[in-house]
Amino acid sequence: MMFAPAPFLLKDTSVSQVMTQVCLALVPGIAAYAWLVGPAILIQLVVASFAALVAEAALLKLRGKPLAMFLSDGSAVVTAWLIALTFPPLAPWWLVATATVFAIVVAKHLYGGLGQNPFNPAMVAFAVCIVSFPALMAQWPSVGLQLPLVEQLNVIFGLSPRVDALSGATPLDAMKTALKLADGEIDVAHLLANQDLYGNFAGRGWEWVAAGYLLGGLWMWQRGIITWHVPVAFVASLVAISGALWLYQPAHFASPLFHLLSGGAMLGAFFIATDPVSGCTTPRGKLIFGAGAGLLAYVIRVFGGYPDGVAFAVLLMNLCAPLIDYLCQPAIFGMKDKA
C-alpha cells in the first residue's frame, strides 16, 4: 500500500526558491554598490559565498545530514551575501571568510542548523568582527576612490599594502566623528553641505545603494517573501526618533532621510530584521520587533560607540523575539471577542 498524506496538490515552492528570491532581491543594491566602489564588492560576495558553502558542507558532513539537499537550500549563500554587504568592501579576504565561517559554524550549525538559530548568523559575524577587528572594520574606501580591479584584488588578498587612502569612513561614521570633534561648533547642515562626502541626502552614492535595497525589499514584499510589518515598523520608528530629535535640535541631529539612507538601515529593514528564523512571526510581534530594531539602531549609531547600530539592534531584538511572539499570539477564528 502506498502512503502519501494529503494534500496531494502543492504550491510550487521550496526553501531554495525562497532563498534564491532573497538573493535576487539583493541584486539592485549590489549593482549600485558595485557602481559606487567598483568590483571589490563582487569579489567579497564570491569569497563569502565560497567560505559559506565550504563551512556548510563540512558541518553537514560532521552532523551526518544530506549534503545536496541542504547545500542547495541557498540559506548559506544568503548569510554570506549579507556578510559581504555589511563588511567594508576592501576588507581583507580572510576577515570576510573568517566571519562567514563563524556565522555558519557557530551561529548556525552549533545551534542546530537551518531554522534553529536564535540569532541572525550574518549579524553575529558582524558583531564578532567589529569587536575583534575594529580597525579593519572601520576601513572604508575613500569617497570617489575607484581602484581598478587588479588593485582592488591586491588589496583584498593582501598583495599590496593597505594604503591610507583606503581608510576612509562611512558617512555615518564621518558625521559622528565630526560632530564629536567639533564639540557643537559645527552643525549638521554645515557638514551635509559637503557634497563630496554626503551626496544629496546621506552619503555620496550610498543613498543609491540604499535605494537599491529598498527596491529589492519592495519586490520581496510584492512576492510575499516578507510581510510589510517589519520594514514599516523599522522605518517608522527610525523616522520617528530621528525626526523628533532633528526637529528638537537640527544642528546636532541629522534628518530622518539621512538616517534612512545611510549605513545599514535599508538593508536592515528589508533583509536582516525580516529574517524569519531569528525574528518574530506574529503580525503584532513583527511590528514590535521592527520598531525595536529601528529604535535601537538609531540609539546605538547616534549615542553608542559604534558607527552603525543595525547589527546590534537586530541581535538584541533577536533575544526578545520568543517572548514578544509568546505575548503577541493573535486571536484565532471565532475567538476574537474573547481576546
Partner 1 sequence: MLNLFKFKGGVKPPTNKTQSLGRPIAVAPLPSRLVVPLHQSIGGTPRPVVQAGDKVLKGQLIGEADGWISAAVHAPTSGTVVAVDMHVQPHPSGLDALCVVIEPDGRDEWTTRVPVDHRALAPEEVRERLQQAGVVGLGGAVFPTHGKLTPSKTVPMQELVINGAECEPFITCDDLLMRERADEVVRGIGIFRDLLQPEKVLIGIEDNKPEAAAAMRAAVQALGESFEVVQVPTLYPAGGAKQLIRVLTGKEVPASKRSTDLGVQCFNVATAYTAWRALAHGEPVVSRLVTVTGNVAEPCNYEVLIGTPMAEVLKLGRPHPDTDGIVMGGPMMGFLVPDGEVPVVKATNCLIAHSERLFPPKAPEMPCIRCGSCARACPHELQPFEMYWFARAKNFGKTQEYHIFDCIECGCCSFVCPSRIPLVQYFRFAKSEIWAREREKKAADTAKTRFEFKQLREEREKAEKAEKLARAAAAQAAKKAAEAAAAAGEAAPGETAAAVDAETDPKKAAIAAAMARAKAQREAAPPRNTEQLNAVQQRELDEIEARRQAAGISPAAPAEKTE
Contacts with partner 1, residue ranges (CB under 8 A): 1-11, 13-15, 17-18, 66, 69-70, 73, 75, 113-116, 224-225, 227, 276-277, 281-282, 329-336
d(C-alpha 16, C-alpha 49), whole Å: 15
Which one, 106 or 300, has the nearer CB to partner 1? 106
Cβ closest to partner 1, residue 74 vs residue 294: 74
**Smallest distance, Å, CB 3 to partner 1?**
7
Give the whole-angstrom CA distance, residue 262 versus residue 172. Answer: 7
Nearer to partner 1 among residue 168 and residue 290 (C-beta) = 290
Cβ-based nearer residue to partner 1, 10 or 135: 10
Least separation, in Å, of the C-beta of 18 and partner 1?
Answer: 5
Nearest distance from C-beta of residue 69 to partner 1, angstroms: 6
As measured in angstroms, the least distance from the Cβ of 280 to partner 1 is 9
Q: Would you say 80 or 238 has its CB closer to partner 1? A: 80
Between CA 255 and CA 242 the distance in angstroms is 6
- Indicate the Cα dihedral angle 26, 32, 37, 41, nearest 10°: 20
Q: Is residue 316 a contact partner of residue 298, using CB atoms and an 8 Å limit?
A: no
Return the closest-CA partner of residue 26 out of 82, 72, 73, 75. 82
Q: What 3-state DSSP class applies to 4?
A: coil
User: Minimal distance in Å, beta carbon 110 to partner 1?
Assistant: 15
N- to C-terminal Cα separation, the chain: 46
C-alpha span between 65 and 45 (Å, rounded): 26
Name the residue nearer to partner 1 (CB basis): 250 or 283. 283
Q: Where are the beta strands (DSSP E) in the chain?
A: none
The minimum distance between CB 229 and partner 1, in angstroms, equals 10
